[in-house]
Amino acid sequence: MENKKIVICASASFENEIVKWKNKLEEKGFEVLKYPTKIKEDLLTGYNKEFSEHYDAINKADIVLALNLDKKGIQGYIGSGVFAEMAFALGLNKAFNKNIEVCYLNPIAKDGLPYSDELELWQNLGWIKQFNLN
């Protein structure tokens, strides 16, 4: 059986945690297609390149994993960029009959996010689920 292809979505400020999860996933046999990295060139050029590559990888992925770590005093934080990436994967599933699993690592914050209601709806619809590495 072919290894599942996974894209990690997270704030690039979690660089150390992202690399730890990348290594964990690879040890379990996943093929990590893309994960956030700090932009090394000028912001406009680097962001455009990173954005394009990341969304292209989501299109090719079996799984999109949101590393929703604690940030800004909120447990299970999902920022606007990660929310957009999750929504993109769901859009591919709905519009193009893709079958991308959209997962999050930790329980999602119930308060403190402007789109908490939407995330809860997606959970209730079974469109997103908590990731299980085992």
Q: Quick count: other Cβ atoms within 10 Å of Cβ 85?
A: 25
Predicted local distance difference test score (pLDDT) of residue 62:
99
> Which is nearest to 37 in space by CA: 58, 51, 26, 55?
51
Predicted local distance difference test score (pLDDT) of residue 54:
97
Strands 63-66 and 31-34 turn out to be unpaired
Tens-digit pLDDT profile for residues 22-64? 999 999 999 999 999 988 889 888 999 999 999 999 999 999 9
Q: How far apart are CA 98 and CA 5, in angstroms?
A: 14
Tens-digit pLDDT profile for residues 97-123? 999 999 999 999 988 899 999 999 999
**Residue 61: both structure tokens together:** 């992925």
Tell me the average pLDDT across 6-34. Answer: 97
Q: Which residue is it, tokens 């390149």?
A: 49
Q: How far apart are CA 89 and CA 50, in angstroms?
A: 17
Number of domains in the chain: 1
**CATH number of residue 75's parent domain:** 3.40.50
Predicted local distance difference test score (pLDDT) of residue 1:
59
In this prediction the pTM is 0.95
Q: Tell me the residue range of the domain where 78 lies.
A: 5-130
Q: How far apart are CA 55 and CA 123, in angstroms?
A: 22
* CB contact at 8 A, 63 and 6: yes
Predicted local distance difference test score (pLDDT) of residue 11:
92
